[in-house]
A = this chain, B = another copy of it.
Amino acid sequence: MPNETDNNNSLPAIILVQPQLGENIGAAARVMLNFGFQDLRLCAPRDGWPNQHAIAMASGAGRLLDHAQVMTDLRSALVGIDFAMAATARERDLVRPILTPQDAVRDLFQRSNKGQRTAIVFGPERSGLTNADVASTNALIAIPVNPQFKSLNLAQSVAVICYEWMRTTTVGGKETVGISQPLAEIADKAKFVDLLVEELEQTGYFYPPEKAEGMRFNLRGLFMRMDLTPPELRTLHGVRRALARHSHDAHDSV
């Protein structure tokens, strides 16, 4: 069983995007601590923060709420995170691996052991995560449910994933071989895509206008999904700059 001092570094952060009910935030915090999780991040909780309903439901796990980082959006919450998975009930029209909780936890556990900082992202109660938010993550977790009644409560979803972590890590995870080098941070990948999109805007690439948003979205998703090491991300920046600078120089000389 992992001890508390190890946990902050090695267990995934739990990120709740736009949670609506304080009760669910509190219940999520409580069950996180039940299974040894401590890093709670909240993106734009609907009813503001702090929240008395959350405090009441956390009963004994209040310090997770005290230390929760509150951000305006998922992108800020992912700063410092190398690899993120999104728990989602809906089918997505996105190119992403979909894992069972069991396989997801095995993967996250191995990444943690290699020093990667990981996160699991949960969407708002009613609507779930937007595709844009899902696109910032590397993979999806689908909890197996009764097809006739799929809608899991938010805190119950957190419970299932955190329990699965405890179950897997106390039994001993199975080894598969992933990328062993440290990975570039999600925020740094996002910055790359921003710059690429900016360059492409200047070339008139996003055409016709009615397709531009979808094109940008697909392009972003494609790079955000990648496991990239920092040197590889630098390579991509180099490629981007080489093509763009060349083009700008040429322009300048015109």
**Is A208 an interface residue when CB atoms closer than 8 A count as contact?**
no
The listed residue with most B CB atoms (<10 A of its CB), out of A36, A60, A102, A239, is: A239
Indicate how many identical chains form the complex: 2
Interface residues on chain A, number (Cβ under 8 Å): 84
14 contacts between A and B (CB under 8 A): A27-B153, A59-B151, A60-B151, A61-B149, A100-B174, A100-B175, A142-B174, A159-B160, A160-B160, A203-B246, A204-B242, A205-B239, A219-B239, A240-B243
**Is A152 an interface residue when CB atoms closer than 8 A count as contact?**
yes
Q: Which residues of B contact A253 (CB under 8 A)?
A: 254
Check B219–A235 contact: CB distance below 8 A.
yes
Tell me the minimal C-beta distance from A1 to chain B in angstroms: 7
A151 to B31: give the CA distance in the assembly, Å.
Answer: 9
- Using a CB–CB distance below 8 Å, which chain A residues touch chain B? 1, 4, 27, 30-31, 33-36, 59-61, 95-104, 142-153, 155-156, 159-160, 163-164, 166-167, 170-171, 174-181, 196, 199-200, 202-205, 215, 218-219, 222, 226-229, 231-232, 235-236, 238-240, 242-247, 250-251, 253-254
